[in-house]
Chain A
Amino acid sequence: MQKRLIVNQQLLDIMVMRLCHQLIENHGDFSDSVILGLQPRGKHVAERIQQTLATILGKQVPTGYLDTTFHRDDFRRRETPLTANATKVDFLVEGKKVILVDDVLYTGRSVRAALDAMIAYGRPASVELLVLIDRLYTRHLPIQATYVGRQVNSLQSQRVLVDWQEQQAPEDAIWLITKSED
């Protein structure tokens, strides 16, 4: 297995800061905006975005975590059922500008499931998608991100992994993993 570093701690901090400023361009003071991190891995990105926005704006943007397990389209197509994660959405999205947040955009199927799951909390005014990594040419559905940290050209057999200090990684980093052929 080969593991290649594509974004280190410093670059990741800059990337999150840039994404936050892009968000501010579109959302102003965030009075009608909410952030929804997709469980499990988008949760950490959403937390990071919320913290960074708090240091820039001096206010906490409402942030929730959305689990999409029960809305996925691959139920019964897997060997074992997916284990669900907690959903924590303490607000209604009715009339809000929703920013969905995930770490890696790959086939687009989780985002489709997330759109479906989110509707249970009301009818949002608009929905945008923010991802750290956009894997090019791998989409199964016509879904594109509004805000992208970095675009990555990768093979189907490869995997992009985002490590967070919250998950006991030595530092925040993004890796491209290639399985060896043996």
Chain B
Amino acid sequence: MQELSVRHLLGIKDITPQDIQLIFETADNFKDVLNRPIKKVPSLRDITIANVFFENSTRTRLSFELAEKRLSADVINFSSSSSSVKKGETLLDTVNNILAMKVDMIVMRHSSPGAPHFLSRHINANIVNAGDGTHEHPTQALLDTFSIREKLGEVAGKKVVIIGDILHSRVALSNIFALQKLGAEVMVCGPITLLPKYIKELGVKVELDVRKALEWCDVANVLRIQLERQQMKYFPSLREYTLYYGIDKKMLDSLDKEITLMHPGPINRGVELSSDAADSHHSIILNQVENGVAIRMAVLYLLASKTA
């Protein structure tokens, strides 16, 4: 009988390697549930969860909503585009109004880094961070490392390169923390303008040549170029980015070993990944999506046992 060391899942930085292992073991069991004819268990039937999304999302929101429904929780959805936030309500007021309707847990995405941390200091409900700006996206990192563990047996000792827009990526930061806590070696690769200045402080390798990075790694996690977060030009053109950092099937086949290809989605086909690479046998992109539901069920289940 183990439990998580935290009441909220705000970031991978705050949790222990034991927490990650516990989440993985619980997710193994939920993955089994998801392969049954009836994919639903009654564990959270007395829990109400609000999905509060101040930023657009399809995959993460659907995945969380499905995980909540598979656990029999009651679910309410909120997106800022159709709400009173437009009328000038503050974040804390919005959430307190939702909580006044007797909600036990909040799954939140926000464009400002630290928004869920701020909320966790002011409210009682358990919070799951579903992405806060350019900071962390813990469930994505958990499902990425879970997928590596599933494909390669274990994460410890594996070499993982994260390629692309590291500067604006919450997936990159959460993945770096998760991989390091599980004992993997991490490298980041991308145009120098898209690498944070002090990234080496995190103990990761830095490589500017994507070909060398692929030759080094066991797993390549390719990120999307997040044009919506870029306020200035970090590289001359998308075509030039593709020329230097795009990955295609030919490049994967020319390596003298098998590597595993991941992408957190949504893919910009023909930019960071060519279609033939994304659909090749190297890719575990759809497994990542499948594992996402099991991981989120595990996180919600383990946190729900700590509701006040």
Contacts and interface: CB of A to CB of B under 8 A. Distances in A.
Interface of A: 67, 69-71, 75-76, 78, 80-87, 92, 116-117, 119-122
5 contacts: A80-B305, A83-B1, A84-B26, A116-B42, A120-B37
A45 B1 CA distance: 23
Contacts of B39: 120
B36 A82 contact: no
A122 B41 CA distance: 14
Given A75-B43, A87-B29, A80 B2 contact: yes
B37 A86 contact: no
A119 B36 CA distance: 10
Nearest to A70: B41
Contacts of B36: 120-121
Range, interface on chain B: 20 to 34
A81 B302 contact: yes
Contacts of B42: 70-71, 116
* Interface class of chain B by DSSP: loop
Contact of B1 (A81, A119, A122): A81
Contacts of A87: 29, 32-33
* Interface class of chain A by DSSP: loop
B279 interface: no
A117 B36 CA distance: 11
B307 interface: yes
A156 B48 CA distance: 35
Contacts of A85: 29
A69 B302 CA distance: 12
A83 B25 contact: yes
Interface string B264-308: 000000000000000000000000000000000000011011010
B37 A92 contact: yes
Nearest to A119: B38
Given A70-B33, A75-B305, A121-B36, A80 B41 contact: no
A70 B43 contact: yes
B3 interface: yes
A96 B302 CA distance: 34
Given A80-B3, A84-B29, A71 B41 contact: yes
A102 to B, nearest CB: 19
A117 B301 CA distance: 17
A83 B38 contact: no
A78 B304 CA distance: 12
B307 A80 contact: no
A119 B38 CA distance: 8
A93 to B, nearest CB: 10
B218 to A, nearest CB: 27
